[in-house]
Amino acid sequence: MASREISAFAAEEERRVLSLRPVLAPVHGHYGDHPHQVYDAWPSEDPEAPLVVLLHGGYWRYDRMHLTPFAAHLSERGFSVLLPGFRRSGGAGGYPETFDDVARIVDTLPAGRPYVLAGHCSGGHLALWCAARGLLPDTSAWHTTRLPPAVLALAPLTDLRATRRDRLSDDAALQLMGGPDRFAERLADVDPLSLLRRAGSTGVRTVLLHGAADEEVPLTQFADYAAVHRDLETLVLPGTGHYTLIEPGAPAAGAVADTLRRLYDETATRHAALAEAAASGRPAAAEEASPS
């Protein structure tokens, strides 16, 4: 099996961020019967606070606890934060259960509530997949027209075929998809890049943010996705690695928070315009305010 060689800079970044002590959320609950179907929440006392739904990374097999310090950090910066778990590879999850759970999480959020769906690494893959569910065939159980208002993908895995080719995280893509015999037939259902190639856009306001010094996810994953997505906004942070994006107090995490707030403000403005148009009976104006 191919080994991944990383620099001392990347090794220290990974050690530093992943060794942070988990933070206990003030609210914890269940959305299903399985032990992985749980969520942590940091609700704001301000009903107008921007809502962020975070999908954690870990190559679809690790739990959400490494993201709790960043979730708490966002809460301190005035966000209302929801951090769900989901059934994971190597146990009760993988295809299709991981995708069933993520779809259920997004589909059960209150209708009309502005929010930003954000994900880091494999969580970024899941966020981009949520944005692309409208591109699935009508016959798919995951097809929906109720898409996230906005997506922020942080150093995401965008291409499962390349993830398999590069054998990232000990063949995590094969584990997610149920092995080499099922990989090809399932790819078109859950691979953001494959879905996007057919349409060129998901119609969801999407930002891809990554560090220029990311050694965990090959930079070609970001470039290849950006080359296909015609209305994607891409932000690159110089001198920044993979994990610093979710490190509380780091300048990169500050840039992430600023981008989340900007995306939420755009979403809330669009939502208000749609509501005003609906109340005044002006459907044309509502269409003009909707995402491209």
Tell me the per-residue pLDDT of 180-191, one tens digit each, with 9 for 90 and over: 999 999 999 999
pLDDT at 284: 41
Tell me the C-alpha to C-alpha distance, in Å, between residue 146 and each of 44, 211, 232, 276. 25, 31, 19, 20
What residues make up the domain containing 57?
8-266
> Is residue 236 a part of any domain in this protein?
yes
Buried b (16+ CB within 10 A) or exposed e, 12-28: ebbeebeebeebebeee
Instruction: State pTM to two decimals.
Output: 0.94
> Is residue 274 a part of any domain in this protein?
no
Sign of CA dihedral 163, 165, 168, 174: positive
Q: Are 31 and 84 in contact (CB under 8 A)?
A: yes
Which segments in the chain show pLDDT lower than 50? Answer: 1-2, 284-292
Q: State the CATH number of the domain containing residue 242.
A: 3.40.50.1820
Q: Are 210 and 226 in contact (CB under 8 A)?
A: no
> Is residue 275 a part of any domain in this protein?
no
pLDDT at 283: 62
Rounded to the nearest angstrom, the gap between the alpha carbon of residue 1 and the centroid of all alpha carbons in its chain is: 28
pLDDT at 292: 28
pLDDT at 112: 82
> Is residue 276 a part of any domain in this protein?
no
> Is residue 279 a part of any domain in this protein?
no
- Domain count across the chain: 1
> Is residue 103 a part of any domain in this protein?
yes
pLDDT at 271: 87
Q: Is the peptide bond before 96 cis (omega within 30 degrees of 0)?
A: yes
pLDDT at 5: 80
